Amino acid sequence: MSASSSISPSASHLGADPKIVRRLSSVSHIILVLSGKGGVGKSSVSAQLALSLSSSPSPADSDRNARVGILDIDLTGPSIPRMLGLDGSSVKQSTDGWVPVYTDASQHLAVMSVGFLLRSKNDSVVWRGPKKNAMIKQFLGDVRWGELDYLIIDTPPGTSDEHISILEYLRTFNPTAVMVTTPQAVSLADNLRSLDFCRKTNLPVLGLIENMSGYICPHCKDCTNVWGKGGGEALAKREGLRFLGRIPIDPGLVRVLDDAKEDAQHELEKQLDGTRLSTTEPVTIDQPLPQEGQAAESKETEDKKSATPAGTILSRTTIQRYKSSLTFPIFQEITDQIRTLAHQHRLHPQPSGVLSSSES
């Protein structure tokens, strides 16, 4: 069974934007990553979930790995390109919309972020509400994701314009959410507000992850509870959420995610005998899409181009280095639960805002 064969019939998308329906009908599962505050690890959890899912079997065809997309809608602080080593990559336009950036030639992980549309990673954009809304609509309606098993959406902290817009557009696609918290109380209080938002908007929460939960000394393997421990699990219990697990502070993970580009660049330069990577001109944010039928390269050529040289190297660096990190096996257990829960939700969509922790 292919991802597209399990799509909802178009009748179920009544009232949805036809461009978005066309793009997202071939996406099986849409999962938003949320947290009440910034800096708790939403982007790193989104990146890990995407990496981990793309190296697990597809739920549609166990003979191949899952095809995953990651959409970064943190418009003022996009960090997904950096975490996946794709800083400096750019989005291409085809006759059929924006081509996402692929992390490697196998095209199992497609990435879209406003970070790819800025000329420099240090550029900032001042976004007003309607402009944010238009950008998000464009990300959903203009990106040629193709068939995806999972689309992971990394969101800004709290409950902002971006959350409201994306939920409005995705309403008919049965999205779900995963919440991330750190053990500290302030973060937990912020999470209550996020949870309230999920309930009010009927966004089912698959579960809660406690990130930065203790520090495991790489030498003696002793765990120190730097910011306490167990707050996330207690919150989950109290709110009837499933607790998906805790991720310790892992200095190795910081190196994998924060130094991904440098590592990829270094590897590539070694192979190319010192030649610097060239990056292509990014598209400007308001650039209109070409008309149908306008001269275009074949899909195959475009796709080969969009798999960046750095990305090809990444298939041996970020993903492999992530797999050898302390966090990978811990996160894999979280991923397995998310896969199962997302599948169950697809078969039996939950009408309520929060999935009961007793559902398995």
Ligand X SMILES: Nc1ncnc2c1ncn2[C@@H]1O[C@H](COP(=O)(O)OP(=O)(O)O)[C@@H](O)[C@H]1O
Rule CB under 5 A: which residues touch Mg ion? 42-43, 79
Q: Which of 43, 103, 133, 325 binds ligand X (CB under 6 A)?
A: 43
For residues 55 to 84, the per-residue mask of contacts with ligand X, x marking binding by CB under 6 A and - elsewhere, is ------------------------x-----
According to the binding rule CB under 6 A, does residue 254 interact with ligand X?
yes
**43/308 with CB nearer ligand X:** 43
**φ and ψ at residue 322, rounded to 5 degrees:** -60, -40
**215/344 with CB nearer ligand X:** 215
158 binds, among Mg ion, ligand X, none (CB under 5 to 8 A by kind): none
257 binds, among Mg ion, ligand X, none (CB under 5 to 8 A by kind): ligand X
272 in Cβ contact with 279 (< 8 Å): no
Token pair listed for 41: 């690890």
For residues 99-128, which are near ligand X according to CB under 6 A? none
Compute the least distance from the CB of residue 42 to ligand X, in Å.
4
**58/191 with CB nearer Mg ion:** 191
Compute the least distance from the CB of residue 127 to Mg ion, in Å.
16
According to the binding rule CB under 6 A, does residue 181 interact with ligand X?
no
The strand pair at 109-113 and 68-72 is best described as: parallel
Contacting residues for 270 by C-beta, under 8 A, at least 6 apart: none
According to the binding rule CB under 6 A, does residue 153 interact with ligand X?
no
Token pair listed for 331: 């996160």
Q: How far apart are CA 2 and CA 148, in angstroms?
A: 10
Whether 46 has a binding-site annotation, put simply, is no
Q: Which of 142, 258, 259, 302 binds ligand X (CB under 6 A)?
A: 258
Tell me, what amino acid is at 147? Answer: E
According to the binding rule CB under 6 A, does residue 38 interact with ligand X?
yes
The stretch among 24-32, 143-151, 221-229, 244-252 that binds ligand X (CB under 6 A) is 244-252
For residues 290-329, which are near ligand X according to CB under 6 A? none
According to the binding rule CB under 6 A, does residue 211 interact with ligand X?
yes
Whether 92 has a binding-site annotation, put simply, is no
Annotated binding site for [4Fe-4S] cluster: 217, 220
Annotated binding site: 36-43, 217, 220
Q: Which residues contact ligand X (rule: CB under 6 A)?
A: 35, 38-44, 79, 211-212, 247, 249-250, 253-254, 257-258
